[in-house]
Amino acid sequence: MGGFKHLVVTKFKEGVAVEDIIKGMEKLVSEIDEVSSFEWGEDAGGQEMLSQGFTHAFLLTFRNKEDFTAFLSHPRHLEFSAILSTAIDKVLLLDFPVVLVKPAS
């Protein structure tokens, strides 16, 4: 098994300082031991019809679902989520156990 993932796909509101949000996320995940890794990216494809306006994706990896559950109730996560929710126009969340088909080389 390859762990447990938390995927957040967002469209930020106009005027939001996205760089500040990303710095806040980087600080958050560095302070919480249960987060094994954190990746993020901004849509570069320009296929508006397919991306439905979503612009950024954030992927957090945990060793297991228990670590993810601990992360959800962590005070820093709760604090940051309140800030993030005011900055986003649209959000899509997916939480899933990983099925590893081909390991990274």
For position 54, which CATH number holds?
3.30.70.100
What is the predicted pLDDT for the residue at 42? 94
Number of domains comprising the chain? 1
What is the predicted pLDDT for the residue at 50? 73
**Does 1 score more than 60 pLDDT?**
no
Q: Per the structure block, which two tokens stand in for 18?
A: 């996205």
**What is the domain range of residue 45?**
4-95
- Find all residues with CB under 8 Å of 57, minimum gap 6, and list them: 7, 8, 9, 10, 40, 41, 43
Residue 60 within any structural domain of the chain: yes
Residue 100 within any structural domain of the chain: no
Residue of 8, 62, 57 whose CA lies nearest to 35:
62
Sheet bearing 4-12, strands edge to edge: 35-42, 56-62, 4-12, 88-97
Residue 71 within any structural domain of the chain: yes
What is the predicted pLDDT for the residue at 52? 83
What is the predicted pLDDT for the residue at 79? 96
Render pLDDT for 21-60 as a digit per residue (tens, 0 to 9).
999 999 999 999 999 999 999 998 766 667 788 999 999 9
What is the predicted pLDDT for the residue at 47? 67
Beta strands in 30-98 (DSSP E): 35-42, 56-62, 88-97
Does 18 or 47 have the greater pLDDT score? 18
Render pLDDT for 75-103 as a digit per residue (tens, 0 to 9).
999 999 999 999 999 999 999 999 988 88
Residue 105 within any structural domain of the chain: no
Please give the Cα distance from 68 to 70 (Å, whole number): 5
Give the mean model confidence (pLDDT) for residues 11-24: 96
Please give the Cα distance from 43 to 55 (Å, whole number): 5
